[in-house]
Amino acid sequence: MLRMERKKRRKVGILGDPNWVCFSLITRDPLSHWSCLCQMMFLLYRGLGKTIQTIAFLAAIFGKDRESADPVKEKAGKKGPVLIICPTSVIQNWEIEFSRWATFTVSLYHGANRDLILEKLEAGGAEIIITSFDTFRIHSSILSEIKWEIMIVDEAHRLKNEKSKLYGACSEISTQKRIGLTGTIMQNKMMELFNLFDWVAPGSLGTREHFREFYDEPLRHGQRSTAPERFVRVADERKEHLVAVLRKYMLRRTKEETIGHLMMGKEDNVVFCSMSELQKRVYRRMLQLPDVQCLINKDLPCTCGSPLKQVECCKRIVPDGIIWPYLHRDNPEEGCDSCPFCLVLPCLGKLQQISNHLELVKPNPRDETDKQRKDAEFASTVFGPDIDLVGGFAHRESFMDLSDVKHCGKMQALEKLMSSWASRGDKILLFSYSVRMLDILERFLIRRGYSFSRLDGSTPTNMRQSLVDDFNSSPSKQVFLISTRAGGLGLNLVSANRVVIFDPNWNPAHDLQAQDRSFRFGQKRHVVVFRLLAAGSFEELVYSRQVYKQQLSNIAVSGKMEKRYFEGVQDCKQFKGELFGICNLFRDLSDKLFTSEIIELHERQGKDEMQCSTSKQEITELEAYFLPPKQASIRNSSVSQTGNNNEMAITSKPVLKEMGKRQGERFLKLGPTMLMNCQIYNFFVQAFYMLIGMKTSST
């Protein structure tokens, strides 16, 4: 069926588990009960060949053979059509892989020829129909009338929200043979887990309320740092029960157990970049706006003397704000039903713009005139007396101004990192969620003379694969500038060995999917990831929530034991702790590191002993400079090595050797920047501090 030069690892996906054997690659004997496999979730980590293993499965049950056609078996395996729904960016890849591995007639239900494809399908001329999520959602009423044999959803975590139109449309397909493919089955909340399995195998996890009461709530409360022992015990019991149930409906494969021995490894670093002094001032002014103060003080007694809280009395609306009046320009007297909480996301968006680059605060020339006017008013307010330093509140087109790193802490760090990598021939993937930020980074790359490619939402689908192929095959291409939304899924960019996540996402899976564009089968080099966070900004809270969410996922899906670092409990007003609630979102952290506070708290409580993820001998070989959080102020202190005994000494200038370097190689200088090296998903257990130095020299 398959051309088996693809490596034996592909066999493992089909034959590795007796509960999942659909046929023998040697004898090619189809199993009679294949249909029981078609209510399953394939949880294969990114880069493990979900596409090819799915094609192998379909070829088996359809009696297909790539090398020698068997008409008898093919006729016996004749079944109805298969519907495959996937991201737009990988539609062509699915078509290519089908042509490479099996003899199916495949058609793309995408673009202008949709009616012709339906006619072909009706005439029996198409066995596999591939479409995108957007196309399926728009034309679901037509596609739901077709009697599908099997429905396959690639990146099935897109079905995490039971209220979405996509989820409803997928549920309307009448076939009971449903397969979900994903590497991130749970991203934010445990109820997402229920939604996915309730779609693929309705009723498999009971009712929604049963799942919430029996699994969701006990596991969340049992993970609280000060949870009573009985809560922890119950959570452990429910965890084991849930994992046992999930195994009946889920095939799970990880890189470690399949291709770990073939990979050179991945190193995940979190770089806390000190914001420029100008960024800090603008950030503080933002926190002082009436819009933000209304949210921070929402639970305080109202200033009018009423016994009610401010949010229930005089401060429900914010007519004197900057953001609120624009949001409610159609109803300035009453606002909306969710006031003032409708301000949370817009305010967080502004804070993220400040953390990434001050130019993002200015009006976007692509926006409508009214919004540009309000954004100009906002920019003028938060820039205050510093407005001349940023060239006014209007958008700048000057190439030299936009490519300057002077007022951006992240770009200062990025400049030094990339300078070192380029000199060694490393290839870099640079991800950002903001298209405007990509525009700024593009000017930065041009100014520094880097050869680069770019892919974002405006890149035509039929051009994306050629961009990928060109980058992978061209030694001169140094950087691939990618929109995380448009290029975070499906792309194979194994020629790159450095990955930079410029801005973190609330959803940890998005950042991890971006990383694994490089760290996947075919990668021949050690991959180093750098996630840039603005130190002292709400991005630290974003990262801490990423850790929290991934811990819950590890517990629920893998049954792992995770350290209980956080007091906060997701979706619980009683235990907001240090992670949840509006007040935590808008804390002023500009003079401290929120992450270090959590670590130091657990050291004082004796709940954890910080351990370095590398052995002492390895540390000596790397000549790394560590700053244990309990020894010095992270923001103002640093360490250096003196003498031959590797003693640690506090110095006045931050110096850190780049991760992964050995004796005799280069030092980096990245200013007042802190870098944490971590074993992924277990940051607080394995974290150690490294202060990046500011000098590049040969030793």
What's the chain's length in residues? Answer: 699
Q: How many CA atoms lie within 13 A of 456 on its CB side?
A: 15
**Non-local CB neighbours of 220 within 8 Å, separated by 6+ positions:** 190, 552, 569, 570, 571, 572
Residue 593 is predicted with a pLDDT of 58
Residue 162 is predicted with a pLDDT of 94
Enumerate the β-bridge partners of residue 638.
651
**Non-local CB neighbours of 350 within 8 Å, separated by 6+ positions:** 286, 323, 361, 378, 382
Tokens of 685: 């257990």
Residue 76 is predicted with a pLDDT of 47
CATH homologous superfamily, domain 4-183 = Tandem AAA-ATPase domain (3.40.50.10810)
Residue 535 is predicted with a pLDDT of 87
Name which of 606, 617, 603, 604 is nearest 687 in CA terms. 603
> Is the distance from CB of 431 to CB of 414 less than 8 angstroms?
no
> Is the distance from CB of 655 to CB of 627 less than 8 angstroms?
no
Residue 390 is predicted with a pLDDT of 86
Which bin fits 392, alpha (ψ -120 to 50), beta or left (φ > 0)? left
Cα–Cα distance between 442 and 450 in angstroms, integer? 9
**Non-local CB neighbours of 359 within 8 Å, separated by 6+ positions:** 390, 395, 396, 402, 436, 440
Residue 48 is predicted with a pLDDT of 65
**CA distances from residue 52 to 29, 81, 100, 691 in whole angstroms, order as listed:** 19, 18, 10, 43
Element (H, E) at 500: strand 498-501
Name which of 174, 164, 172, 176 is nearest 204 in CA terms. 176
Residue 660 is predicted with a pLDDT of 28
Cα–Cα distance between 471 and 479 in angstroms, integer? 8
Element (H, E) at 595: helix 594-604
Pairing of strands 498-501, 527-535: parallel
Name which of 121, 238, 192 is nearest 553 in CA terms. 192
Q: What is the DSSP letter of 154?
A: E
Domain boundaries, the chain: 4-183, 280-388, 594-699
Q: Is 613 helix (H, G, I), strand (E, B) or coil?
A: coil
Enumerate the β-bridge partners of residue 452.
479
Composition of the chain by helix, strand, coil, percent to 5: 45, 15, 40
**CA distances from residue 35 to 116, 192, 204 in whole angstroms, order as listed:** 30, 25, 16
Q: What is the DSSP letter of 28?
A: -
User: Mean pLDDT in each 10-residue stretch from start to end of the chain (699 residues)?
Assistant: 42 40 32 50 65 87 66 58 90 89 90 87 90 93 92 92 94 89 88 93 93 96 93 95 91 74 84 90 94 92 88 88 89 87 94 94 90 92 92 74 84 90 91 94 93 91 88 93 83 92 90 88 89 90 90 91 89 90 84 59 51 30 25 26 27 27 30 43 29 30
Tens-digit pLDDT profile for residues 652-675: 222 223 322 322 222 233 444 445
